[in-house]
Amino acid sequence: MDIETVFDASYARVLERQVDGKGFFEAFYERFVAASPEVAEKFRHTDMHRQQAMLKKSFYHLLTFYASSHADYYLDKVAISHNRRHLDIPPPLYDLWLETMVATLRDFDPAFNDTVELAWRLVMTPGIVYMKFHYERDTLVGEGDSA
């Protein structure tokens, strides 16, 4: 199984569909905000159209990180902005984020099956681990490390 090919095909399918008049990212964020009072509070003053566009852009960086194991400037910036000192997105919310993403995927991808789910989990997980790792850190890996 070529994970990237399965993910890319599924991603293309979900972007083409609407369910109940909503696109994938809109439906995802509605579900995510409803999943937890903590998430709802984090997004209380957020421009959700802008947030959806940012997540859509992030998918490219998550796939690149999965494929290369190298965090680019964008992913570094997101990791620091989401740490404890900035947006304060605690690690358990990333697990909820992934579960909500998979639940939304299940509704949007007509070809959803175990292979598709696994591809999404494998592509998203390295980026999630990266974000969790940086929650307590003020610098990126390599910055300020002593030899």
Residue 4 Ramachandran class (φ > 0 left, ψ -120 to 50 alpha, else beta) = alpha
- Render pLDDT for 45-96 as a digit per residue (tens, 0 to 9): 999 999 999 999 888 899 899 999 999 999 999 999 999 998 899 999 999 9
| Predicted model pTM | 0.88
Asked if residues 6 and 116 have their Cβ atoms less than 8 Å apart, the reply is yes
Q: pLDDT digits over 110-128, tens only?
A: 999 999 999 999 999 999 9
